[in-house]
């Protein structure tokens, strides 16, 4: 159980184009999803937190107009990198948390997707 998928796993695009990455919780409903960015040999950098049906909360320094996040259902969140540039090339990882009733959200496990490697030429 607790499987999270991401699509696509790899994407190469030209500078100036937009790229959409999907994150799905396959066997549970995720009230909260997170988007991270990981640079080579570095830890995860949280970009934003999204709750189903509401606007995402972006971390300081993350451009909300550039990284559009939509969490339209309890099993799907999307990250759109708009007008991508080479510096946006990175490994993007999503995670999902179920938000179980009666459970402290800070105690809940986040389950991660396999990641999406984005290369902008």
Binding site for other proteins (CB under 8 A): 2, 4, 6, 34, 42-44, 46, 49, 91, 93, 95, 104, 106-107, 109-115, 117
Nearest distance from C-beta of residue 83 to other proteins, angstroms: 26
Cβ proximity to other proteins: between 93 and 120 the closer is 93
Question: Which regions of 52-104 does DSSP assign to beta strands (E)?
Answer: 57-58, 67-73, 76-81, 90-97
Q: Which is nearer to other proteins, 82 or 112 (CB)?
A: 112
* d(C-alpha 10, C-alpha 71), whole Å: 21
Q: Whole-angstrom Cα distance, residue 24 to residue 3? A: 8
């Amino acid at each position: 159980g607790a499987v999270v998928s991401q699509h696509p796993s790899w994407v190469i695009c030209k500078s100036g184009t937009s790229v959409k990455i999907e994150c799905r919780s396959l066997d549970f409903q995720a009230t909260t999803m997170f988007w991270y960015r990981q640079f080579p040999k570095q830890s995860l950098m949280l970009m934003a937190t999204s709750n189903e049906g509401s606007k995402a909360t972006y971390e300081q320094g993350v451009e909300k107009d550039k990284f559009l996040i939509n969490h339209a259902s309890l099993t799907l969140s999307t990250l759109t990198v708009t007008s991508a540039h080479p510096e946006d090339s990175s490994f993007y990882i999503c995670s999902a948390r179920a938000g179980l009733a009666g459970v402290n959200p800070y105690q809940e496990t986040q389950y991660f997707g396999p990641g999406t490697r984005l290369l902008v030429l």
